[in-house]
Structure 1
Amino acid sequence: MATPRPDFSQDSEVHMDTWKHTLLLSFQSLGVIYGHLSIGPLYVFYTVAQHGVVSEENLYGLMSFIFWTMTLIPLIKYVLVVLRADDNGEGGTFALYSLLCRHAKVGLLPNNKGDDHELLAYEMGSFYKSSLGSKAKRAIENNKSSHYLMLLMALLGSCMIIGNGVLVPAISVLSASINLEKSLASISFKYMSVSISCPILVGLFVLQHYGTHKIGFLFAPVMVVWLLFISGVGVYNIFHWNTDIIRALSPEYMYKFIKSKDIKSWRSLGGILLCIAGSEAMFADLGHFSKRSIKIAFGLLVYPSLIFCYMGQTAFISKNWNPTREAYVTHLGASVPGKLHHFYAWLSLLASVVGSQATITATFSIINQCQAFGCFPKVKVVRTSDKIHGQVYIPDINWILMVLCLILTIATKNVAPIGNATGLAIITSMLITTCFMSLIISLYWNRPRLSAFFLIFFGSIEVTYFLACVLNFHWSECLLFVPIQITLLIMLSWHYGTMKKHEFDLHNKVSIEWLTNLGPSLGVARVPGMGFIYTDVTSGIPAFFSHFVTNLPAFHQVLIFASFKSVPVPYVPPSMRYIIGRLGPKDYRVYRCIVRCGYLDRIRDIDDTEDEIICGIGEFISMDNGNSETLSSPEDKLIVTGSLKQEGNGCITQDATDSTTCSPNSVDIEYPTINSEQLQIGQPTGRTKKVRFVLPPESPQMTSSVREELQELVDAREHGMTYILGHSHISSHKGSNFLKRFTIKVYSFLVKNSQEHTVVLNIPNAAYVEVGMTYSI
């Protein structure tokens, strides 16, 4: 009997599906990530010409710089090295900072310090697995100044990317509009380029709500045609004008350029930097795609197309350079053959629109990460994909970017100053990425020698470009950095206020003994129902709840202190999401639940979260079976539970629409009518729940005390839920210095005008109690 051959058809089908998905993402990435990088030829040589192209040899030197800069920074640094330092599939400045916070104790955010850090890392396994100890790691951990410096660098790098979300759409669309204006010279009028740019910018930002997936399919074909067109024109120009331009790829011409100590020539490097503008989007937008798709798109199409384009443009300029016509000759459109010029004009306009998409998408990703880390005010975040969680859209930020872009375009009307500001913002963010990456190579990958080489090699290149950008900078261009400065002020103020508020909460919290000592003898009553107290502290009783009980001496039959805490990982596995514990003696029915959220996790509906917390507490009670005779359970006794389950040892959930006859232990799914006296502490009325809870069948493994505690939990939910949150009014101490008073005022303004806390979005007014507290910082 013949031995049957193994069937690999299923594996091959999965493999093919994987590659199909990767190629599809590569195609979409062309319309999202590589748009900015691909439209560099529109303004690189035009910006360089502002400082003059002295000779053909000097021009060869500039081309050599373009080739080696494109090879070293986007190809080697980002594609081969930086993309490997993703944070579980997420990229950007804060993703690198997140890795440092986990693998070296450098975090200054509330959740990364002291007991909070240890508690949130509880049973997280590999997520918090630290690298091997080293002298450098211990030195950084013990140096508090380095912690502040790293946070400032993370915020500054994020602000530069956000600032590019304003600068890049303006320079991209304005550059293409100038080309179109030249093509339509017969009907041109004053400021025609601005008149063309403004409606296009409005249309670009209006499209953002469709999300990365749809925009990628819409923009990618434009980018493919654009790259093939400019590479074809480049090859034509090389053979038609100057085939010797191939010699410019030799680093010898860079050496000759550096050897000439002409300050004007050095300033032209600031324009050359724009050829790699958009490289940081490959890492910042990583959460929208995958590493493999990004590498394929860059290596097979983007990189070769741009090299051919720049070489062809250099060949054309080398034979047509004329100081009296430099503004025309250095435009990419001048090198396009006459028959194709009108087609080029419209195609470049479409490409410029696509080119702005990378920075806008990166801005949304960075702000979403900063918000989760407590460094940006609460804004509405819309998830535009169910499959790729990193694809987000932020409406408020989108419209602010649009207004700022329009103001910038109308106010400047010139590409050169915007190009100088864009170059300085880009190289600053790249330098910060280089510094963070060198720390990760040393502290996380345990490769200190490679870390030193990476920092020295890429750092020296980027410092050279940084100095060139500084030489180009004029004080009149400071206004272009106003959005960046305002964003940095907002981030620093929000972080400072958040930290001080957290310190105030920790200092003013009260012990569980204070709550358990309250009783009928002191005029404090326990009322039927369940109270959810949302707090930022993970131990003790928050100050606002003690303030609440002091002024209204009553609290519920069952209390649950719930804390939503962001941890420095993109996503928390559902099985590790909830940390459940008990506060005080068992008879008091007071529990604590810490909900761990990654900085890209969705904020779920309050009903789902509430049901999952109750299931988790039921599981905790059933697991606490062995300690039924103990009078009190220490607060450090915790368990970790996951998402809502249909079966469990504690409480069983059933759909509220289930027609099955309810058991004696099941829950009535509607709250009973309550009187006005109960309403004063926030008891809701007539709210229908999605699920009901049923106790598991009686078994010898479950003691009567455990079943009694579970029954009280079920009964409390049956009587109704009340959600109690603190509302802070921030003020500064009398005698505080001006800087502190100003920062606190900015923070207070942001608190009043930002979105409400996410956990209250779906809570009915009748079930919501807000306790005001004045925080003097």
Structure 2
Amino acid sequence: MENSVMEDPVEKNDTDREVEGVETTLPERTLKERQVSWAKLGRVDSLNMEAGIVSNAGHSHNSTVDWKTTLFLAFQSVGVIYGDIGTSPLYVFSSTFPDKIHNKDDILGVLSLIIYTLMLSPMMKYVCIVLRANDNGNGGTFALYSLICRYAKVSLIPNHQAEDRELSNYRLDTPSNQLRRAQKIKEKLEKSKVAQVMLLLVTILGCSMVIGDGILTPSISVLSAVSGIKQSAKALDQNAVVGISVVILILLFSAEQFGTDKVGYSFAPIIILWFSFIAGIGLYNIFKYDIGILRAFNPKYIVDYFQRNHKHAWVSLGGVVLCITGTEAMFADLGHFSVRSIQISFSCIVFPSLICAYSGQAAYLTKFPDHVADTFYKSIPGPLYWPTFVVAVGASIIASQAMISGAFAIISQSLSLGCFPRVKVVHTSAKYEGQVYIPELNYMIMTASVIVTIAFRTTVQIGNAYGIAVVAVMFITTNLVTLIMLVIWKTSIWWIAMFYLVFGSMEAVYLSSVLSKFVQGGYLPIAFSLVLMTIMGLWHYVHKERYMFELRNKVSSDFMRDLAMNPNINRVPGIGLLYSELVQGIPPIFPHFISNIPSIHSVLVFVSIKSVPISKVAMEERYLFRQVEPRDYRMFRCVVRYGYNDAMEGPEEFEHQLVEHLKEFIRHEHYVLEGAPTETTTAQQLEAGSIMHSGLLKDGKIRGAASSTVHTELSCLQENNSPGVSSGSIHLAPTSRSANSSGCINSRSIQGAEDEIQFIQKAKDYGVVYLLGETEVAAEQNSSLVKKIVVNYMYYFLRRNFRQGEKIMSIPRSRLLRVGMLYEV
């Protein structure tokens, strides 16, 4: 097991002193093990103490639920996840045979390819394997990266803290000594800066491709659905189809502000109806035209197809792969549902419906091969044409909406990684976590999608671009899951080799095929990805350099002592919150504030907003405090931890939560400082002290059956007539407490804590002021020309054209104080 000791790289003083030799406690350890460690300390680290209050409130999405709930989630998942893959029958055959069908046997070969592609990728890879690689019930490229970051220190920003491993959602299993392979890979990842950069770039590339998918899905889905109107309205040409598609796209993006909860979840019946239509029409065509088409389940026809067509067969794979568009959504949208519900919905509804639909179209094409350009609408029986057309348009809109929401989620998660400029993130559902709306991104995607629709006009070229985005994301997922198998799951090397050989080689072949159509539209997602990767990579680079500047220039303990003795520094009533990204020490912006405004609030908190590599952080585990010396100056450091799916509270709620947690910290810290544990400290006293950490005490009140020791100490307090202590209410020190000869807590300790708490409350009543540094970032004079261009121009442009910090945190302008400072990185 590895010892994790928080240590300040530059300064080590009373403010930041860490306890040497204390082993990191893992979540599965019992509370008794934890209290023994505390008992040995002369000075308990306050951050560790706060981290000990674990709520165990975080529950995985994959917890056992009853079948009724699972089936209901399976029904809902159909409306959110499968719109994209469900509308693929609109354009797969036309994209596979862009010219015409030269040999009727090719229809059998292509259908066989479609069947086995659906079996291998969505069914075997995602439903059976990848869904298990979730991060506390959350899926997607970013979730995979976060999971890896928890098990290996591969993040480029050095803000790791031992306390983070105490979070109830962290669920960390250290690789066992028996499986040395996992430990060696982990060590190599942590030591190799190149590997860490490459891992981040691969993650960013996957995120960029998903965003590109969000641009292309609305274009190809809506355009292919609307094109069916030409079957009955002969007077309409392609210009009219494009115009109608553009109108629908604008309306679709305008509705995004209402959120997935209102737009997507109510559409499950429409998608169910869509799958019923395509399955029923497919079965009708199979029995009417050619039931022998079912011979395609024999993979021999795939071999025959390649032997007959050679290079043309390989090129046609770019159309075949469109049958699995939207597969990644099964994993990316896992956070809204559960593994079992998605497995049921795909296996029982989606997969059989798609097999029937493609088989029916193939049977129709054996009789009418000239209709391949518009197979779907041509194969619909006459009476069902208009109902199918209406449902097809509705399904294409739903498919588009799901991928757009996925792009929003990706950007929201990228923000917590420091990989994207600040944008406004609106959480649209209080019931379903992770559903967000980003106004700026919505209009950017809408503009790009409309331009693509007008420029390409048909689904063939859009399909060429679409295939690259789809396969690239799948291939990246395969690589990340393989790494998880090696480091985290510690799977047998033979199973890992089989997984990578089967799925990696299949996706590599498909990727080579779609890349061959680079000039015919395939350049589009690559261009989108390059632009997005440049923005994300550049922003993350400067974000890391800013953090390193603060780490190198943090305030020394001598400065803080001199500040306390300086008579020219005034203390004004109220609470000041000074923001910084630094999780260790005092940021360099603080002395800059003092030099410009020689006054400090009566209570000052250095706040660091930190993103941890988990999806959600329980509220009672979010705030970590430490007091800054000298203690009577009432200055504190606070690390506020958020998961990548957590929404930041409004200023009123944030202030309330921070102050309440600060009061609890003061109460705990005051008892610790009243006196170190003596040799007479009994096991019973330690057990009583640990009750606050075990969760039996909440807000000072006994929550459940307490031990007899608690009742004994309660009686002692009442005998001492301790102020502020009533029957049934008690605040205990964690482990070390000042006690009288009979083992009772000193009443002065309680009174002193309550006085401090009242002081904090009075300061809050005066008002809370937010102190933000208006930091300008510039490259050092001796930097290279490339770095100067990146930092002084490109980063500057992005920063000026996106939102500033106070807008993201919704800080009231009337309570905002800013001071400028230059960071030379």
Q: Is TM (by shorter chain) over 0.5? A: yes
- Contact 2:577 2:607 (C-alpha < 8 Å) held by counterparts: yes
Written as runs of structure 1 = structure 2, the 5 A alignment for 1:142-157 is 142-157=191-206
- Contact 2:141 2:332 (C-alpha < 8 Å) held by counterparts: yes
For 1:134 and 1:263, locate their aligned partners in 2 and report how far apart those are by CA, in whole Å.
Answer: 44
- Return closer, same or farther for 1:704/1:234 CA change in 2, 3 Å cut-off: closer
Question: Is residue 648 of structure 1 aligned with residue 700 of structure 2?
Answer: yes
Question: Is residue 441 of structure 1 aligned with residue 460 of structure 2?
Answer: no
Aligned AA (1:46): S
Aligned AA (2:700): G
CA-CA distance at 1:379 after TM superposition? 1.8
CA-CA distance at 1:222 after TM superposition? 2.0
Aligned AA (2:749): M
For 2:298 and 2:275, locate their aligned partners in 1 and report how far apart those are by CA, in whole Å.
Answer: 24
- Return closer, same or farther for 1:253/1:302 CA change in 2, 3 Å cut-off: same
For 2:376 and 2:135, locate their aligned partners in 1 and report how far apart those are by CA, in whole Å.
Answer: 39
Q: Find the partner of 1:524 among 557, 569, 572.
A: 569
What is the match of residue 465 of structure 2? 421
Q: Find the partner of 1:559 among 604, 613, 621.
A: 604
Q: Find the partner of 1:198 among 240, 243, 246.
A: 246
What is the match of residue 98 of structure 1? 146
Written as runs of structure 1 = structure 2, the 5 A alignment for 1:574-593 is 574-593=619-638
For 2:491 and 2:418, locate their aligned partners in 1 and report how far apart those are by CA, in whole Å.
Answer: 31
- Contact 2:257 2:437 (C-alpha < 8 Å) held by counterparts: yes
- Contact 1:728 1:774 (C-alpha < 8 Å) held by counterparts: yes
How many residue pairs get matched? Answer: 705
Q: Deviations over 1:65-101 (max 9, x none)?
A: 1001001111111111111111111111000000000
Written as runs of structure 1 = structure 2, the 5 A alignment for 1:60-459 is 60-108=108-156, 110=157, 113=158, 116-121=160-165, 126-132=170-176, 133-185=182-234, 187-189=235-237, 191-260=239-308, 262-322=310-370, 326-328=372-374, 331-449=375-493, 450-459=495-504
Aligned AA (2:637): R
Q: Find the partner of 2:747 among 700, 719, 722.
A: 700
- Contact 2:561 2:629 (C-alpha < 8 Å) held by counterparts: yes
- Contact 1:381 1:393 (C-alpha < 8 Å) held by counterparts: yes
CA-CA distance at 1:499 after TM superposition? 0.8
For 2:386 and 2:520, locate their aligned partners in 1 and report how far apart those are by CA, in whole Å.
Answer: 38
Q: Find the partner of 2:649 among 587, 601, 604.
A: 604
Describe the SS at the equivalent of 1:385: coil
For 2:412 and 2:693, locate their aligned partners in 1 and report how far apart those are by CA, in whole Å.
Answer: 26
CA-CA distance at 1:125 after TM superposition? 7.8
Aligned AA (1:577): R
Q: Which is worse superposed, 218-227 or 266-275?
A: 218-227
- Contact 2:607 2:637 (C-alpha < 8 Å) held by counterparts: yes
- Contact 1:155 1:491 (C-alpha < 8 Å) held by counterparts: yes
What is the match of residue 494 of structure 1? 539
For 1:701 and 1:53, locate their aligned partners in 2 and report how far apart those are by CA, in whole Å.
Answer: 91
Aligned AA (1:48): T
- Contact 1:183 1:345 (C-alpha < 8 Å) held by counterparts: no
Describe the SS at the equivalent of 2:627: strand
- Contact 1:577 1:641 (C-alpha < 8 Å) held by counterparts: no
- Contact 1:375 1:494 (C-alpha < 8 Å) held by counterparts: yes
CA-CA distance at 1:23 after TM superposition? 2.9
CA-CA distance at 1:203 after TM superposition? 1.8
Q: Find the partner of 1:731 among 778, 790, 812.
A: 778
For 1:742 and 1:355, locate their aligned partners in 2 and report how far apart those are by CA, in whole Å.
Answer: 40
- Contact 2:319 2:463 (C-alpha < 8 Å) held by counterparts: yes
Describe the SS at the equivalent of 1:557: strand
CA-CA distance at 1:532 after TM superposition? 1.6
CA-CA distance at 1:484 after TM superposition? 2.8
What is the match of residue 55 of structure 1? 103
TM-score by length of 1: 0.85
TM-score by length of 2: 0.80
CA-CA distance at 1:761 after TM superposition? 4.1
Describe the SS at the equivalent of 2:420: coil
- Contact 2:648 2:809 (C-alpha < 8 Å) held by counterparts: no
Describe the SS at the equivalent of 1:579: strand
For 1:738 and 1:407, locate their aligned partners in 2 and report how far apart those are by CA, in whole Å.
Answer: 35
Aligned AA (1:572): V
Q: Find the partner of 1:545 among 590, 594, 601.
A: 590
- Contact 1:278 1:358 (C-alpha < 8 Å) held by counterparts: no
- Contact 1:31 1:357 (C-alpha < 8 Å) held by counterparts: no
What is the match of residue 659 of structure 1? none
- Return closer, same or farther for 1:98/1:40 CA change in 2, 3 Å cut-off: same
Q: Find the partner of 2:78 among 30, 40, 57.
A: 30
Written as runs of structure 1 = structure 2, the 5 A alignment for 1:621-632 is 621-628=666-673
For 1:551 and 1:560, locate their aligned partners in 2 and report how far apart those are by CA, in whole Å.
Answer: 19
What is the match of residue 740 of structure 1? 787
- Return closer, same or farther for 1:538/1:149 CA change in 2, 3 Å cut-off: same
Q: Which is worse superposed, 449-458 or 409-418?
A: 449-458
Describe the SS at the equivalent of 1:444: helix
For 1:253 and 1:42, locate their aligned partners in 2 and report how far apart those are by CA, in whole Å.
Answer: 23
For 2:223 and 2:750, locate their aligned partners in 1 and report how far apart those are by CA, in whole Å.
Answer: 75
Describe the SS at the equivalent of 2:626: strand
For 2:168 and 2:364, locate their aligned partners in 1 and report how far apart those are by CA, in whole Å.
Answer: 59
For 1:93 and 1:442, locate their aligned partners in 2 and report how far apart those are by CA, in whole Å.
Answer: 17
CA-CA distance at 1:62 after TM superposition? 1.0
Aligned AA (1:85): A
For 2:64 and 2:398, locate their aligned partners in 1 and report how far apart those are by CA, in whole Å.
Answer: 30
Q: Which is worse superposed, 129-138 or 596-605?
A: 129-138
- Contact 2:466 2:525 (C-alpha < 8 Å) held by counterparts: no
What is the match of residue 506 of structure 2? 461
- Contact 2:475 2:507 (C-alpha < 8 Å) held by counterparts: yes
Aligned AA (2:89): P
- Return closer, same or farther for 1:134/1:480 CA change in 2, 3 Å cut-off: closer
CA-CA distance at 1:763 after TM superposition? 3.6
What is the match of residue 773 of structure 1? 821
- Return closer, same or farther for 1:533/1:642 CA change in 2, 3 Å cut-off: farther
- Contact 2:169 2:616 (C-alpha < 8 Å) held by counterparts: no
Q: Sequence identity of aligned pairs in percent?
A: 38
CA-CA distance at 1:414 after TM superposition? 1.6
- Contact 1:578 1:642 (C-alpha < 8 Å) held by counterparts: no
Question: Is residue 752 of structure 1 aligned with residue 775 of structure 2?
Answer: no
What is the match of residue 712 of structure 2? none
Describe the SS at the equivalent of 1:121: helix
Aligned AA (1:527): V
For 2:558 and 2:808, locate their aligned partners in 1 and report how far apart those are by CA, in whole Å.
Answer: 29
What is the match of residue 45 of structure 2? none
For 1:581 and 1:175, locate their aligned partners in 2 and report how far apart those are by CA, in whole Å.
Answer: 59
For 2:535 and 2:378, locate their aligned partners in 1 and report how far apart those are by CA, in whole Å.
Answer: 44
For 2:419 and 2:321, locate their aligned partners in 1 and report how far apart those are by CA, in whole Å.
Answer: 30
Aligned AA (1:367): I
- Contact 2:464 2:520 (C-alpha < 8 Å) held by counterparts: no
Aligned AA (2:211): I
CA-CA distance at 1:269 after TM superposition? 0.6
- Contact 2:777 2:823 (C-alpha < 8 Å) held by counterparts: yes
- Contact 2:617 2:642 (C-alpha < 8 Å) held by counterparts: yes
- Return closer, same or farther for 1:476/1:715 CA change in 2, 3 Å cut-off: closer
What is the match of residue 570 of structure 1? 615
For 1:460 and 1:542, locate their aligned partners in 2 and report how far apart those are by CA, in whole Å.
Answer: 50
- Return closer, same or farther for 1:730/1:640 CA change in 2, 3 Å cut-off: farther
